[in-house]
Amino acid sequence: MARPASAKPAAARASPPPPASVLNPNPKSTATRRKDDYSSEGVEDNDVFLLPGTDYQLVVAITVLCAAVRLFRIYQPTSVVFDEVHFGGFASKYIKGRFFMDVHPPLAKLLITLFGWLAGFDGKFDFKDIGKDYLEPGVPYVAMRMFPAVCGILLAPTMFLTLKAAGCRTFTAAMGAGLIIFENGLLTQARLILLDSPLMITTAFTALAFTSFSNQHELGPSRAFGLSWWFWLVMTGLGLGTTVSIKWVGLFTIAWVGSLTLVQLWVLLGDYKTVTVRVFAKHFMARVFCLIVIPLTFYMAMFGIHFLCLANPGDGDGFMSSEFQSTLNSKGMQDVPADVLLGSQVSIRHVNTQGGYLHSHPLMYPTGSKQQQITLYPHKDDNNIWLLENQTQPLDINGQPINGTTAWNNLPETPYIKDGAVLRLYHSPTHRRLHSHDVRPPVTEAEWQNEVSAYGYEGFDGDANDFFRVEIVKKKSKGGVAQERLRTIDTKFRLVHVMTGCVLFSHKVKLPDWASEQQEVTCAKGGTLPNSLWYIESNEHPQLGADAEKVNYANPGFLGKFWELQKVMWKTNAGLVESHAWDSRPPSWPILRRGINFWGKDHRQIYLIGNPIVWWSATAAVVIYILFKGLAVLRWQRSCNDYSVTVFKRFDYEIGTSVLGWALHYFPFYLMQRQLFLHHYFPALYFGVIAFCQIYDFVTRRISAVGLREKPIVGRVGAVAFLALSVVAFTLLSPLAYGNTWTKAECNRVKLFGTWDWDCNTFLDSYDAYKTLPSTPAAAQTPTQSAAVQQPPPVQPPVAGGEQGQIPIVDAQQQQGQEVKAKVSDAALPSNKRLVHTEERVEFRDQDGNLLNEEQVKALEGKVEFKTRYETRTRVVDAQGNEILLPAGAQAPQEQEPAAAPPVAPPHPDVEGVDRETPKRPVADEEMPEPKQSVEGEKEREGQAAKPASEGNEATAKAEEAQKEL
């Protein structure tokens, strides 16, 4: 039964007045009458549109300062960096309209493309390798980097406004904005063609909008459904839509807003005085529309634009279903006859593994039966055509067999192929039939799988191992006649080998190079149903004329394409589980244990590392709140009644809101097995900085026991001092963010932990040494084997090479075991000298980069481990074996045209030809190449190389070339 509003529980009447809390600046406030509506105590109107003019001037100053920091030498480096490989490449595909598959939604990629297109980018540059030069092909990379940079610039004023909306003082908000400006990790991401800077600004905007809306909500019923209330609620919905349209990390932001919205609705539900059922329904529906309908509509609209831009086939369409592919230009097909007859020439497509075609070609297996190969091929080709034959030839009017492959063309009765029919599949281009026998496949040597081959010759009648029985899978086929006999597209069937009982089967395993890495086809005993399902796509027969019933792929429409792409993105994202040289796990992020090597060239390096002052203070704020909350819960259990104190309650709610944002953007990563990197922590870091600034504001302004509320100058000095400390840390680490020149000594001085694993030997000993470096050609790419020119000792002191942390080099074993070709550019030789050859010389150095002579190296053999982390230098030798000293700035001539350097960026683990399920085994003894000599330190060199994150699903070069040919 409801009690009167004036009544109080007996326990409450018996309780003594609560003591003044240390968090209460005004003990008299505990005696004030509690409000009768859902408005919150201690909340003022913090509408950011009503700030004093000085605050807006400060916002402008913060924006200008942030722009100066973010845009400083944004043209540097002039080559591809880290995941610019992926996201710049996606811009190229957008401009060409070629469909690709990526695990991230399209909004940020579309905007990057827009900036590049407006600057004149034509999409011809492929961004294929880290270190690939931008200048020589004239790529407007600065314009493309400008979009992330603008997002990074806006992040600082957004932080300022968010803290003001949360009720913080101006100098506290300015300190928070300063921490964002001088955060090295955010700076690094904002200067490159990456998605994290756009993600951060949309996350920050959502936090600003929802904080402003919450402020209006907590002011009570008088503000409900007002202009400001509606504005910030709609902006929150747009913020959620833009955030999740950049990366699915936006789902964590949705969880944060959703959790706090449920709290608000719960409070509204408890206000039975001012919130009637009708008013509550209005609140509920307003939030449903703004926080669900608007974000979902915006998200789907971005994919609508995505589909409009990518209208042509590309290297990503293999991830999609046949129905999806048929909507792309040149992928669609004409209507085909529905009925499949004996004598039909058909193409047979696999259902489960992106719909490759059953394929053969005049190449033999190197092992097993050594008969003609059967594969799954992703593109349309004449070698995909099969003639469907009966197990016996038809008879003429005299009872004699009608020989030849055209025997079924003029039969009086329509020879339908019904469920259970036994067929032979004749490969017209090579005159062989689909065949299986009790021989292990070339790659998957499981006992339950048999080899499938093409066997026979023209005029050969075949044998019993050519017989396959059609088994229609009714639950996968379209209803009606398609479940009784073979129908094009509509019937899904299995082909059961009559002699052995195995089923024609394919999976994601790729065959080696001798089969062009096409997909393996086997005959499996007990193979899974999805991998043994087939259907007929094309169908021709002389008896099926123009008036025959026709079928085609059903158009999935926008919703069908949208939903299918979401499922493929989710599956692919979850499949990124291979290790990466620079990945890290969530426990290491709050303490800034290690970073990411982005790029290295010309004795410079870009390494993503945060500002330790900012990171550790944000982590400390979270720890402080957790300790506070634990103590508050214990005191609450002991009936200390702290929550009757307004400041105590506001501290718990306001800081708790930010810490909840930190937790929801951090802890979900513990559930992920995929590749993770330090930059995944940035949204959580942002909420941690907000929490730190809020705690600072409470301590210096609202908690009376500290004694700083009456001394605002102390709070201002403390903020300035802390910000100055952050600026110092930022300055010390800034060469790693900007890719500036640096010295070994300065690098080692700031390297506080061994886990901060950038390589100080990358840098030279002094800044003067950089002046003597030869100019690098504009088109030079980051090679996998560095070959810097050997300079005369008086000109350049011995240094540790230009790209040791990035570029693998050869060691003594390589030099002795094989000749290494240096990648050098043309230069004129002295007139009296003749180039005989170039050779590599290895320099051994200690941990400090000091050069070791041969005696020192021999003395250390067997005592220490030699790691080849330093680049080799090229010596030019004449006919007498004398070294040719080239002029300063010249480079060694090219002995012969070098082979193209392999890409620094590894292919995506899910792309064609690099599938994780592909077993690694030799093909045959006679086919095996000479084993490579074991090179000491090879793995270490590979680990030091900068690689893009495996988040862009790009097809292999072979697949791209094949697509172009089509």
Cβ count near 558 (within 10 Å): 13
Alpha-carbon distance values, 734 to 75, 79, 83, 150, 606 (Å) = 16, 19, 20, 19, 10
Least confident of 172-181, 342-351, 744-753, 767-776: 767-776
Confidence (pLDDT) at 741: 93
The counts of H helices and E strands in the chain are 24, 24
**How many residues belong to the chain?**
966
What SS3 string covers 374-441? Answer: EEEECCCCHHHEEEEEECCCCECCCCCECCCCCCCCCCCCCCECECCCEEEEEECCCCEEEEECCCCC
Query: Does an H or E element contain 363, and which?
Result: strand 357-364
Mean pLDDT value of segment 156-182: 96
Count how many Cα atoms sit within 13 Å of the Cα of residue 539 in the half-sphere of its side chain.
28
**Phi and psi, residue 525, nearest 5°:** -90, 110
Question: If we measure between CA atoms, which residue out of 297, 292, 327 comes closest to residue 312?
Answer: 327
What token pair was written down for 525? 């005993």
Question: Would you give the DSSP letter of residue 339?
Answer: B
Query: Does an H or E element contain 599, and which?
Result: strand 596-601
Confidence (pLDDT) at 94: 95
**Phi and psi, residue 534, nearest 5°:** -135, 160
Question: If we measure between CA atoms, which residue out of 163, 244, 262 comes closest to residue 211?
Answer: 163
Q: What is the pTM of this model?
A: 0.76
Q: 449 and 522 in contact (C-beta within 8 Å)?
A: yes
Least confident of 287-301, 368-382, 820-834, 938-952: 820-834
Highest average pLDDT, of 307-311, 352-356, 404-408, 787-791, comes from 307-311
Confidence (pLDDT) at 777: 40
Place of tokens 């936006």: 250
Separation between Cα atoms, residue 816 and residue 582, nearest integer Å: 32
Tell me the DSSP string of 820-879: --------PPPTT----EEEEE--EE-TT--EE-HHHHHHHTTTS-----S-EEEEEE-T
Confidence (pLDDT) at 939: 46
**Phi and psi, residue 352, nearest 5°:** -90, -40
What SS3 string covers 112-129? Answer: HHHHHHHCCCCCCCCCCC
Confidence (pLDDT) at 866: 58
Question: If we measure between CA atoms, which residue out of 298, 295, 302, 211 comes closest to residue 254?
Answer: 295
Tens of pLDDT, residues 638-686: 988 888 889 999 999 999 999 999 999 999 999 988 889 999 999 999 9
**pLDDT classification of 577: cutoffs 50, 70, 90:** confident
**pLDDT classification of 352: cutoffs 50, 70, 90:** confident
Separation between Cα atoms, residue 52 and residue 49, nearest integer Å: 9
Confidence (pLDDT) at 121: 94
Confidence (pLDDT) at 831: 44
Question: Which has more pLDDT, 181 or 129?
Answer: 181
Tens of pLDDT, residues 214-233: 999 999 999 999 999 999 99
What token pair was written down for 590? 């709050």
Mean pLDDT value of segment 872-891: 51
**pLDDT classification of 886: cutoffs 50, 70, 90:** low
Q: 682 and 185 in contact (C-beta within 8 Å)?
A: yes
> Is residue 689 helix, strand or coil?
helix
Confidence (pLDDT) at 430: 93
Highest average pLDDT, of 115-119, 315-319, 776-780, comes from 115-119
Percent share of the chain, pLDDT over 90: 57
Tens of pLDDT, residues 805-827: 333 323 333 333 333 333 323 33
**pLDDT classification of 841: cutoffs 50, 70, 90:** low
pLDDT reading at 556 higher than 60: yes
Confidence (pLDDT) at 860: 73
Confidence (pLDDT) at 379: 83
